[in-house]
Structure 1
């Protein structure tokens, strides 16, 4: 048995089971390696989407750096065995400037580059991240950093844009109308989560302030808003506003839907409101889908 020098890292590694690398007979240069992905023959079916997801990558949203989660894919022709997945990340990297700007123009650039490099009929990308912004308290106007989750999703083909979606999840306050009606005083209230996914018109420009516009629309229809900083006078405003505007989850999505219908750049939407009930062990939710 080989005498090992445990004072060296190599010796310690071998002591724990590491072995020397073999010489090997397969090529080490890329030009000499087999490229199975580029194999051309009939592989029975074309594939609609193949790519990568759950990719964490730095993004810039509204001027602030954040962390995004990406899914990137292309179609795959019937006569090709696979795609070159490294090109997905390479296409994303071309838009990286201390993070990828999370907006439709940037995503469109990535998809255009991707379709060209991959030589496929279609390409798609979905990116989600946390949007941070300054939000002052309602009475004292003290600034704090608020946040909402945003989602951008696009797909393109040789005919142009085939999907262009914008999503947002925001937190609000909801106060129960039934509780207010039957109680001598007070009413139970809770934090609500409002989630929307908008189908946007590919032929119309999404407003530059679309995030602010959508966030305001979600909040204004709730019982009251959430704030990062509240002094006592602010808290009075927030709680009294909630009492003055009771909302069921059903009420909230209907009010939001009315405002979304009036946006000319939106062609359809999904809405879901979920309340973390303060007097139940379960949550309450309401959901709807509408197409203009």
Structure 2
């Protein structure tokens, strides 16, 4: 027989080992609590970045709401012990409107508020999310929703932008040129994962479709684009186009680079293509870096 009243939640908790809170002697109001983070003395070094990672928060990318994975940081002066991390979330909340608009202008405003609330000269953010867009089948023109992964990177010092980056990761089809060359018929093909990290001119005006411009360079140069919906005429076109445009990973990143180098609003880019090989147990990959 329990000594506690098992008909109540509190009684059942104590039956399973819960105990009453202790009566402490430390203050319970914020005004009376010691603020260790605001301690000022010589702490030996300035810190370039301190903040939080893996903050999941709603974002809006174009017409779609999705989840963003944020990393926020600020600098920290040598005479300050730590930052007040709750102010990071408070800065984000000030821009909430059914999600934060995931673009460079909105992120800049968040960083300016964060910079001011932390009383620091520098602030930065990296945020990843799923970018959704309309994708039409190549022959029957049926609309469906496609997707790619995007990561925005932005950093400021005082009121100047010091880092402005956009990374896009998307899947494509690659068909092996060697297989096509040596086989009497057919050729092996596979899914290729293409990643472009674009270093954007900090002073350039970006068009509304700048993400689509980069994505087009990644997809159009592959053997084939991937589609959410394919009817038989679409499948015929996709497989024939892949056969007409064989690509090694080396071919693909060079062709993408040839398109990206013509964009005057890019200062440079990193490209990687990784093929999930259909006839090997390993993947094939190639990387290329270019700075103007």
TM class by smaller structure = over 0.9
SS of the equivalent of 1:204 reads coil
| CA positional deviation for 1:5 | 1.5
Name 1:283's counterpart in structure 2.
Answer: 283
Give the 5 Å matches for 1:1-292: 3-158=3-158, 160-292=160-292
SS at match of 1:112: helix
TM-score (norm 2): 0.98
C-alpha displacement of 1:228: 0.5
SS at structure 1 position matched to 2:20: coil
Shift of residue 46, structure 1, vs aligned partner:
0.6
TM-score (norm 1): 0.98
1:112-162 CA-to-partner distances (Å, cap 9, x unmatched) read 111111111200001110011111100000111100011110000026111
Give, in angstroms, the shift of residue 3 of structure 1. Answer: 2.2
Q: Return the alpha-carbon distance in structure 1 between the equivalents of residues 157 and 79 of structure 2.
A: 18
Secondary structure of the corresponding residue to residue 52 of structure 2: strand
Contact 2:112–2:159, Cα closer than 8 Å, also in 1: no
Quick one: distance in 2 between partners of 1:35 and 1:176? Answer: 62
Distance in 1 (alpha carbons) for counterparts of 2:8 and 2:267: 67
Measured in 2, the distance between the counterparts of 1:121 and 1:92 equals 18
Q: Deviations over 1:72-119 (max 9, x none)?
A: 010110000000001111111111110111000000000111111111
Q: Is the 8 A contact 2:148 2:170 kept in 1?
A: yes
Cα distance in structure 2, aligned partners of 1:3 and 1:224: 71
SS class of match (1:31): helix
Q: Distance in 2 between matches of 1:211 and 1:242?
A: 24
Report how many residues are paired: 292
RMSD: 1.1
CA drift of 1:2 comes to 8.5
Q: Provide structure 1 residue ranges, at least 5 long, that are not aligned to the other structure.
A: none
CA deviation vs aligned residue, 1:183-241 (integer Å, no higher than 9, x gap): 00000000111001111111111221111111111111000110000000000000000
What SS does the corresponding residue of 1:212 show, helix, strand or coil?
helix
